[in-house]
Amino acid sequence: MSYFDDASLAFLPSGAAGKDGKAYSIKPTDGTGDFTFSRGSNLAATRVGPGPDYFIEKGRENLLTYSNDFSNSDWNKINGLSVIGQTATDPFGVANNAWSLNFDGTVNGRIEKKGLSVAVNGVYNYSVYLRVATGTQVASIGHSSWGLTAVTITTQWQRFEGFKVAATNTAYIRVRCDDAAIIEVFGYQFESGLVATEYIESGATKGTAGILENTPRFDYSNGASCPSLLLEPSRTNLVPSEYFGAGYTLSGAAIINNNTTSPEGLQNATKIYPTASGNYKHIRYGSLNPSTGVHTFSIFAKAGELDHLVLIDYDGGGVGVDFNLSTGVANDSASVAFDFVDMVDYGNGWYRCVATATNLRFYWILSDNGGVSVTANGTDGLYIYAAQAEANAYPTSYIPNHSGGTITRAVDVISKDLTSVINNNQMTMFLDVKSLEAISTVIAADNFGDLRWYHQAGNRFRFYKIDDADWVTNSFVVNDGDKIALTLTDTQAKLFVNGSQVGTTFALTTSFQNFTNLSYNVGSSKNELNQLLIFRTALSDADCITLTT
């Protein structure tokens, strides 16, 4: 038989088909099989994009309205600045799309965006394309009370940028010139983060791109050629920023911002190097020292001249986990303190270094060979990017944060009214899924005798029928990728996992009825869903064994 042909609903994330609020099924093709997707977080969610780069992708927004309409009244024209018109060819060759601005030589002549609300201590980048017709011209961009960025404009289009930690809650972004000059301007962008990202045009509302609030995350982690649908629980990143210059303490170490390409594919990774030889030359984040309860800490790191980054337990005698950035092997010499240790390869020499611990006072130590000592020469170091601390026993995907506070990514949930693809009281549900331990409800299917799929302690899955209070299957331990088939008839339930029936056939007290809505990940666990099929009938044992093999 062809299982695809026989399925009444087929959801395969390998097609990476979805949009904001929707995850498309490939069968039926008329849209009646599509899932509603919800999360509600755009700025706190990421995915690993497709190869060959496998870059981390974020949600992005240009906080400036009318980002390329400098005639709009949202832009104040001050001290002799006037707009000649949209008369210049932009950096991408589009005629009459860049603006010519005339500065008459009045000091502090400027075009300035009306005040924008920002988060104090948040990290913001401003960027704009500038050009002059002849010669060179000195000007400045950014917001004055945070410190303007001086630029030298030439006859070639250049995208100038700068980043600041917001010292006030309102930003007045501008181009300023104190001389008489005509300057061509295109595409001002103001966004969270250390570096400018690809320009996003905006109009009356802010421009957005990348991961939107309800964008399903088709994820290509671990070099996958086909994506899975990433469904994660809500998590909070307690680290306030990707900027290691604020909120951190550097002891015997220094940093250089935006020094190399990060796993995001942008020049926003930081070099850290020891400034003096000796023991415990480190960086630590003050407000999480010590952390209370179980936390998982992670940081992306890449070897430079140094290739050992050590996470130590300050209260545990100064021993810790040695993350060898050349071999990709983590050596845990503090097995009592660390419950979970991992190094995940993100390509191009980058590893996500992960450790879980309880009540940890943690330092990231620079190391020569995995111990606590390092030799300094004033330049040699390694690279770091995007630290995360989350209050749980395992890591989730990176939660970007530039707010200066903490940020929570909401849970990913897909849901679907299955009335049209189910045959009243019988069906087969097939799942190809990788799941991490998280005690929760994975599937809630209402009005079908209220079927529940619970993820229980010990990484066990089990199906339950609420109205009869029956466990309708045995439990089984979830491994690193499982194929699961649940069959239901009027009288019985059967479970097959990875080519074998689990437990015995269960005689139902009453049959399931009137299946209406299925919600997946409703209880907030971490799943990578590779395939979901629904059949109108209970498949035979042989078919289920074949299907799950």
Partner 1 sequence: MTRLTRKYEFVDEAAADAAIALLPTDDEGNASHGHLVTKLGYLVIEPAVNGEDGEEITAAVLSEVYAVDVYWGGESVDVDLWAAFIVWPTPMGIHSFGSSSSRDEYASTYCGLFPDSLYCNPVDPEPLNEI
CB 70 within 8 A of CB 82: no
Q: Which residue's CB is nearer to partner 1, number 8 or number 388?
A: 388
Residue 4 phi, psi (nearest 5): -65, -45
Residue 123 Cβ, how far from partner 1 at the closest point, in Å?
Answer: 14
Is residue 390 within 8 A of residue 236, CB to CB? The reply is yes
From residue 468 to residue 507, the character string flagging contacts with partner 1 as x (rule: CB under 8 A) and all else as - is: ----------------------------------------
Q: Which of 286, 457, 480, 542 is close enough to bind partner 1 by CB under 8 A?
A: 286
Q: Dig out the tokens for 134 from the structure.
A: 């002849």
CA angle 413, 296, 219 (to 5 degrees): 40
Q: Does 202 bind partner 1 (CB under 8 A)?
A: no
Q: Which residue from 3, 157, 314, 340 is in contact with partner 1, where contact means CB under 8 A?
A: 314
Contact between 106 and partner 1 per CB under 8 A: yes
520 lines the binding site for partner 1 (CB under 8 A): no
How many Å apart are CA 228 and CA 310, to the nearest integer?
32
Q: How far is CA 209 from the centre of its chain?
A: 14
Under the binding rule (CB under 8 A), the answer on residue 399 touching partner 1 is yes
# residues near partner 1 by CB under 8 A: 53
Give min distance, CB of 194 to partner 1, in A. Answer: 18
Distance of closest approach, residue 467 Cβ to partner 1, in angstroms: 9
Binding track, positions 23-42, relative to partner 1; x by CB under 8 A: ---------------x-xxx
Site string for partner 1, 234-263 (x = CB under 8 A): x-x------------x-x------------
We find the least distance from the C-beta atom of residue 447 to partner 1, in angstroms, to be: 13
Q: How far is the CB of 188 from partner 1 (least distance, A)?
A: 18
Measure the CA angle with vertex 145, ends 142 and 147; round to 5°.
Answer: 55
Q: Let me know: does 131 contact 160? Beta carbons within 8 Å.
A: no
Asked if 403 interacts with partner 1 (CB under 8 A), we say yes
Cis peptide before 395 (omega within 30 of 0): no
Q: Does 284 bind partner 1 (CB under 8 A)?
A: yes
SS3 301: strand
The neighbour count for residue 278, using CB atoms within 10 Å, is: 12
The contact mask relative to partner 1 for 111-150 (x = CB under 8 A, - = no) is ----x-x-x------------------------xx-----
298 neighbors 281 (Cβ within 8 angstroms): no
Instruction: Assess 449 for contact with partner 1 (CB under 8 A).
Output: no
Residue 508 · residue 470 · CB < 8 Å: yes
Cβ proximity to partner 1: between 133 and 391 the closer is 391
Tokens 């693809």 found at: 421
Any contact of residue 45 with partner 1 (CB under 8 A)?
yes
With H, G, I as helix, E, B as strand and everything else as coil, classify residue 13.
helix
79 or 259: whose CB is closer to partner 1? 79
CB closer to partner 1 out of 251 and 537: 251
User: With respect to partner 1, which residue has the nearer C-beta, 247 or 503?
Assistant: 247
Residue with tokens 């960027």: 127
Q: State which H helix or E strand residue 544 sits in.
A: helix 541-547
17 near partner 1 (CB under 8 A): no
Q: How far is the CB of 500 from partner 1 (least distance, A)?
A: 29
User: Cα–Cα distance between 453 and 462 in angstroms, integer?
Assistant: 6
Q: Measured from the CB atom, is 1 or 246 closer to partner 1?
A: 246
Q: Of 24-32, 257-265, 365-373, 396-404, which segment contacts partner 1 by CB under 8 A?
A: 396-404
Q: Omega of the bond prior to 50 within 30 degrees of 0, cis?
A: no
**Minimum CB distance to partner 1, residue 380 (Å):** 22
Asked whether 321 and 341 are in contact (CB, 8 A), the reply is yes
Q: 106: which residues sit within 8 A by CB, 6+ positions away?
A: 79, 80, 178
Beta-bridge partner residues of 300 = 352, 385
- Give me the torsion for CA of 517, 523, 524, 525, rounded to 10°: -100
Residue span 154-193 as binding mask against partner 1, x where in contact by CB under 8 A, dash where not: --------------xxx-x---------------------
**Non-local CB neighbours of 5 within 8 Å, separated by 6+ positions:** none
360 and 312 in contact (C-beta within 8 Å)?
no
CB of 237 to partner 1, least distance (A): 9
| Tokens 């005798």 -> residue | 449
Closest approach, Cβ 209 to partner 1, in A, equals: 12
What is the smallest separation between the CB atom of 119 and partner 1, expressed in angstroms?
7
Q: Which stretch binds partner 1 (CB under 8 A): 2-10, 104-112, 215-223, 490-498?
A: 104-112
What's the chain's Rg over C-alpha atoms? 27
Closest contact distance (angstroms) between CB of 135 and partner 1 is: 25
Query: What gap in Å lies between CA 263 and CA 383, rounded to an integer?
Result: 11
User: Is 236 in contact with 406 (CB distance < 8 Å)?
Assistant: yes
Contacts to partner 1 by CB under 8 A: 38, 40-45, 59, 61, 76, 78-79, 106-108, 115, 117, 119, 144-145, 168-170, 172, 206, 208, 213, 234, 236, 249, 251, 280, 284, 286-287, 289, 314, 361, 363, 399, 403-411, 441, 452, 466, 523
